[in-house]
Structure 1
Amino acid sequence: MPQYNPPLRDLQFVLHEVLDAVGTLKQLPPHADVDAETIDAVLEEGGKFARDVVAPLNPVGDAEGCTLDAASHEVTTPTGFKDAYARYVEGGWPALSCDPDFGGQGLPHVVNQCFYEMLNGANQAWTMYPGLSHGAYEALHAHGSDEQKRLYLPKLTSGEWTGTMCLTEPQCGTDLGLLRTKAEPQADGTYRLTGNKIFISAGEHDMAENIVHLVLARLPDAPSGSKGISLFVAPKFSVNPDGSLGARNGIYCGGLEHKMGIHGNATAQIVLDGAVGSLVGQPHKGLAAMFVMMNAARLGVGMQSLGLTEVAYQNAAAYAKERLQMRSLSGAKSPEQPADPIIVHPDVRKMLLTARAYAEGGRALAVFTTLLLDQELASDDETVRADAGDLVALLTPIVKAFLTDNAWIATSACLQVFGGHGYVREWGMEQFVRDARINMIYEGTNTIQSLDLLGRKVLGDNGAKLKKLGKLIAGFVEDEGVVESMQEFVNPLADLGEKVTKLSTEIGMKAFQNPDEVGAAAVDYLRVVSHLVFAYLWARMAKVALEKEGSGDPFYTAKLATARFYFAKLLPETAALIRSARAGAAPLMAMDAALF
């Protein structure tokens, strides 16, 4: 069975040594009293919970899956899932970053995000249950009425109830303008919801006494398309004015999807049969309200893949140090043994370092982005809030798409390290690969994320958000460009920054003539810009490691080696990606559709 160890040392490095999280947080009124000791203590305990309680259930969930009772529409989760969730609630973990007005602990979002990385590394399928609840909490906190907040937020904060987002329907996935679920107004101010939803993660289970569904539907007078969508809250059990549970609502699980991975999470087909719901926010403005949850979910999916990348790396590295196969090409490294451990072979090291570089770079990106989110939500400086919000908007599709693409690469490489054993279930590696594959698809496919980045976040505002990122990078390059030891990191960073500016302008000019040019370039473009962000963060990490290399701590030696690997072996893919992006739409659109 695979093992998981929380990467506390690296989390502390990124939080405190590279990004000075506490210094940033102390400038935010709600977090003025936060300190490194508190953050570290919370994450240490969170890591123990992930390692000791949640991780052992990962293979159990994969083997057992969830079971639906067709008569009662009730779902039973795998052995141990319910008990682990009870311990999660008992420990107060759901409330970490929630509003104290609703029973939350009020800690920064960045602390919660680091905790969720560890939970996902331990067991992605289990973590999706509380993860979606947190997204439902955020949406209601931002757009719910006072009455909705009073009824739902304390229970979501405590974890007594869980939440879902009910968007997808059989005929529409990303294109929510095709949505058909109906909402009929009632005399008492409620609505009757009728329709069918599919692919609803954590849509039905036995881990909490109630499930709060956020449902997209159309009012009778709704205009067509995405501008006619409203958001409703429809609980599994109705909620009385005093907060107690009432009758079973007309929203239930009609079936479970049989999936490639994340077997421990109930991916439900949800039937709305006159379910009673209440309107969240304004009529026909539901998509904007749901985007609060969708953006939280996109950051959460990035955390899922970051966790998988880390746990796959840990197990592959441990295996490579022990597995004996052949001799090193440069001569025996363990002559006392019949063969050398496979970690002596260059290509094994390449696979391991690829996973390690993507894990550590992804961790830096996740913390960097969530610190910006804390600034956007909590700063009392309007300019700081606006700038942070723009950067969060720019980075969200990168966190979702780049980290999930990288996890697919990394988990597959780590399986390869195991050779034939990686293909066998008992080692656990093939589960990581299967679980990682969904992350590139749901919460908006990575192509959708790429279109969002290039079309909306870059070209949509004439590069204003991208320029804010560029200003950060340019400032770092200017400060460090004169430091001899930093040249190997600063020079390629500066070079890529110039190329991204040129490429963005070029694609924008072509898009004026043919909008398909955006679609043709978007996926390549996102990966190029993602590498720019990674290069910036890896250069910052290298700077700290260089300054502390003389301490004798092998942590910094390893960090520098990984940074050098990233710049030498992974960053160069941007050259091919830029060339592909420049090739444009013609090679893709020239063939008649009938010839496919």
Structure 2
Amino acid sequence: MSAYKVSLRELRFFLWELHKTDQNFLTRAPFNDKNRTYYDALLERARAFAYELGKAYQASDRQECHLLENGKVEIPKEFHGLWQRYKEEWIQVLGIDSESQQPALPPLIRQTIQEMFMGANPAFMTYGGFNFPAIKLLKLHATAAQKATYLRKLQRYDWDACFCATEQQAGSDLTAVTTVAKPLENGEYAVSGEKVYISAGMHTLTENTVYFVLGRINTTTSTSYSLSCLLVPRFWPNPETGELEDNHVECTSLLRKMGLKSCANTQLVFGRTGTTRAVLLGDRKNAGLLQLVPLMNQARMSTAIIGLGLASSAYLHSVDFAGKRFQGRAISRTSDASAPACSHHRTRRRAAHAAGNEGPGRRLPWPAR
């Protein structure tokens, strides 16, 4: 049984009645090739997959991730099958068409589907969760060569991406970042340093991971204006052979977060066992924070969507329980010791509302009257 609950009636009210998505998006290009019926059916498909994600949530959280003696990270077994389904069934639906450069879905509908998936299993959704903003960053800032190397792999989710900013001694103070990159030949850099709290930082779901690393180019100047964004692949793509070579990125420990223990929350070390090679995003020094502003905004929105999905599911679980819990005798028979117990009138109304049998509302504390 899935641990996740969702009300499609709420979501449809949010899309079609509150925000009038059909009028505001489906009547104009590039979204006018599909109608509301198509998207209602898509929401039902998304709910079915969200229930599958929800079934794996509790068991995978108990299973956790493990750092093996050989330095590899073991993630819950269920995630491998779910990942293949996610790639085959949802990446193209949720992604961006590489030729037209147009969004595949109206933003509100995409966000609604993401809310279901993230609310059902936020730990699983961290894997590949950074691909969407990483693709946006590459399109905005990368050189032609960098786009040719990384973009299509990330769009297909053959590779995934991670954002690496936090360091143990720095916390959220980016002026204290000490990761350094020294110039090599051919415009490459050698990166050395450590990053911590890297969500989905190491796993075997994809053949490679591209780390977007905040560091300093050959300097330890402690200002946020001397930070650069470095593209550090876990395995270096050899431009001549096309083979992936070890790039000396190590996972030294896994951190446990409540409810996210099946997310490989890693501490990563660069350049300790050999040269960790990197390229500078867009070949621009000291522009890391400027380049990463869209990413940070997207990350905050994604965190909020996780909270909304979880809160909505928790609310519906509460309504379901309240609808079944006996509250006492009916008020008209409070003094009758022989009267049977019954649920409260408003409790019944809440249950009816959650089941879609009463007036519309979007996460309202009481049903609309």
Could you say whether these structures have the same fold, taking a TM-score greater than 0.5 normalized by the shorter chain as the test? yes
**Residues 92 and 148 from structure 1, CA distance in 2 versus in 1: closer, same or farther, beyond 3 angstroms?**
farther
For residues 218 and 96 of structure 1, the distance between their equivalents in structure 2, rounded to whole angstroms, comes to 35
**1:113 Cα deviation from its structure 2 partner:** 1.4
Higher relative contact order (Cα pairs below 8 Å, separated by 6+ residues)? 2
Q: What does 1:501-540 correspond to in 2, within 5 Å?
A: none
Asked if 1 retains the 8 angstrom alpha-carbon contact of 2:254 and 2:265, the reply is yes
**Residues 162 and 243 from structure 1, CA distance in 2 versus in 1: closer, same or farther, beyond 3 angstroms?**
farther
For residues 251 and 564 of structure 1, the distance between their equivalents in structure 2, rounded to whole angstroms, comes to 52
For residues 132 and 54 of structure 1, the distance between their equivalents in structure 2, rounded to whole angstroms, comes to 19
Give the corresponding residue for 1:318: 320
Question: Is the counterpart of residue 45 in structure 1 residue 35 in structure 2?
Answer: no
For residues 121 and 213 of structure 1, the distance between their equivalents in structure 2, rounded to whole angstroms, comes to 26
Paired residue secondary structure (1:130): coil
Give the corresponding residue for 2:279: 278
Paired residue secondary structure (2:130): helix
User: 2:307 is matched by which residue type in structure 1?
Assistant: S
User: 2:138 is matched by which residue type in structure 1?
Assistant: L
Deviations 1:218-271 (A, max 9, x none): 002575311010001111111233794411112121110133331111110011
Paired residue secondary structure (2:99): helix
**Residues 560 and 311 from structure 1, CA distance in 2 versus in 1: closer, same or farther, beyond 3 angstroms?**
closer
Deviations 1:84-139 (A, max 9, x none): 00111121426523233399973333332111100012111111113222222222
Identity %: 31
**Residues 239 and 157 from structure 1, CA distance in 2 versus in 1: closer, same or farther, beyond 3 angstroms?**
same
Asked if 1 retains the 8 angstrom alpha-carbon contact of 2:161 and 2:210, the reply is yes
**Residues 42 and 244 from structure 1, CA distance in 2 versus in 1: closer, same or farther, beyond 3 angstroms?**
farther
Range with bigger deviation, 225-234 or 214-223: 214-223
Question: Is the counterpart of residue 295 in structure 1 residue 97 in structure 2?
Answer: no
Q: What does 1:430-509 correspond to in 2, within 5 Å?
A: none
For residues 127 and 218 of structure 2, the distance between their equivalents in structure 1, rounded to whole angstroms, comes to 33
Number of residue-to-residue matches in the alignment: 361
**Residues 2 and 560 from structure 1, CA distance in 2 versus in 1: closer, same or farther, beyond 3 angstroms?**
closer
Q: What does 1:571-586 correspond to in 2, within 5 Å?
A: none
Higher strand share: 2
Higher helix share: 1
Deviations 1:453-486 (A, max 9, x none): xxxxxxxxxxxxxxxxxxxxxxxxxxxxxxxxxx
Paired residue secondary structure (1:82): helix
Question: Is the counterpart of residue 31 in structure 1 residue 48 in structure 2?
Answer: no
Give the corresponding residue for 1:12: 12
User: 1:9 is matched by which residue type in structure 2?
Assistant: R
For residues 307 and 565 of structure 1, the distance between their equivalents in structure 2, rounded to whole angstroms, comes to 19
**Residues 295 and 99 from structure 1, CA distance in 2 versus in 1: closer, same or farther, beyond 3 angstroms?**
farther
**1:18 Cα deviation from its structure 2 partner:** 1.8
User: 1:63 is matched by which residue type in structure 2?
Assistant: R
**Residues 168 and 27 from structure 1, CA distance in 2 versus in 1: closer, same or farther, beyond 3 angstroms?**
farther
Give the corresponding residue for 2:81: 83
Paired residue secondary structure (1:205): coil
Give the corresponding residue for 1:196: 194
For residues 112 and 177 of structure 1, the distance between their equivalents in structure 2, rounded to whole angstroms, comes to 35
User: 2:108 is matched by which residue type in structure 1?
Assistant: V
Give the corresponding residue for 1:107: 105
**Residues 47 and 561 from structure 1, CA distance in 2 versus in 1: closer, same or farther, beyond 3 angstroms?**
closer
**RMSD of aligned residue pairs (Cα, Å):** 3.2
For residues 126 and 94 of structure 1, the distance between their equivalents in structure 2, rounded to whole angstroms, comes to 18
**1:35 Cα deviation from its structure 2 partner:** 3.0
**Residues 23 and 168 from structure 1, CA distance in 2 versus in 1: closer, same or farther, beyond 3 angstroms?**
same
**1:67 Cα deviation from its structure 2 partner:** 0.9
Paired residue secondary structure (1:131): coil
User: 2:59 is matched by which residue type in structure 1?
Assistant: V
**Residues 563 and 4 from structure 1, CA distance in 2 versus in 1: closer, same or farther, beyond 3 angstroms?**
closer
Asked if 1 retains the 8 angstrom alpha-carbon contact of 2:182 and 2:218, the reply is yes
Asked if 1 retains the 8 angstrom alpha-carbon contact of 2:64 and 2:261, the reply is yes
* Unpaired runs of at least 5, structure 1: 361-552, 568-596
For residues 270 and 102 of structure 1, the distance between their equivalents in structure 2, rounded to whole angstroms, comes to 37
Q: Normalising by structure 2, what TM-score?
A: 0.87
Give the corresponding residue for 1:151: 149
* Unpaired runs of at least 5, structure 2: none
Give the corresponding residue for 1:131: 129
User: 2:113 is matched by which residue type in structure 1?
Assistant: F
Paired residue secondary structure (2:185): coil
Give the corresponding residue for 2:307: 305
Deviations 1:361-411 (A, max 9, x none): xxxxxxxxxxxxxxxxxxxxxxxxxxxxxxxxxxxxxxxxxxxxxxxxxxx
**1:34 Cα deviation from its structure 2 partner:** 4.6
User: 1:55 is matched by which residue type in structure 2?
Assistant: G
**Residues 33 and 254 from structure 1, CA distance in 2 versus in 1: closer, same or farther, beyond 3 angstroms?**
same
